[in-house]
Amino acid sequence: MALVLNLRPTIQVTDEQLEQISRANPNLKLERSPEGELIVMALNGGETGRRNSNLTGQLWFWNQQAEFGESFDSSTGFRLPDGAIRSPDAAWISNERWQTLTPTQKQKYVPLCPDFVVELRSSSDALEELQAKMQEYLDNGLRLGWLIDPESQTVEIYRPSSPVEILQKPESLSGEDVLVGFSLKLKGILGIS
């Protein structure tokens, strides 16, 4: 579960200050809400880290072959149009959008909502908070998102202008028309035999 600090009445944390706080506290994962709240999340345990490595590895390998864009892991911060700074477990941005950024923008929090994100629920994550985060990505321009819950062995698929689709124990997920040709195998992520 995340700890939310409302600092807004006293200070407004800038992008630069958030970067400094993050560097000074490497054992914490920090995000900023659209309202300026600082969200403090604990590091994940081994099982979640293993699953996330599997997920980001598959995305990275596909992207190396396809060369359609850039893939990112959970260490990357994205400054969304609503002002939030979020760090999904995995993300992807098309080459077309990535190339619109300056070299300086590429070095800082990426000032775009990713085209694609994955949030992998860990034992410390509240499902409702992750669902709200997925909706926030959609509201900021997300084209495809997956909320993977190993505990319930479900995947929620988020698309613009569509109801959330819930899959029970899927073996794989298609990147559809966003990640053309990508298929995420879920055996090592959901633990399905």
Identify whether the C-beta of residue 110 lies closer than 8 Å to the C-beta of residue 101: yes
* Euclidean distance between CA atoms 162 and 127, whole angstroms: 20
What are the structural domains, with CATH classification, of the chain? 45-190 (3.90.1570.10)
Q: 106-143: per-residue pLDDT in tens? A: 999 999 999 999 999 988 888 999 999 999 999 999 99
Q: 122-131: per-residue pLDDT in tens? A: 888 889 999 9
Identify whether the C-beta of residue 118 lies closer than 8 Å to the C-beta of residue 155: no
pLDDT for residue 183: 97
Q: 43-85: per-residue pLDDT in tens? A: 666 777 688 788 999 999 999 999 999 999 988 999 999 999 9
pLDDT for residue 191: 75
Residues 6+ apart with CB under 8 A from 166: 154, 155, 156, 157
How much is the average pLDDT of 2-12?
69
In this prediction the pTM is 0.84
Positions of E strands within 44-130: 69-73, 78-79, 85-86, 90-94, 116-120
Pairing of strands 28-32, 38-42: antiparallel
Whose tokens are 């979020």? That residue is 86
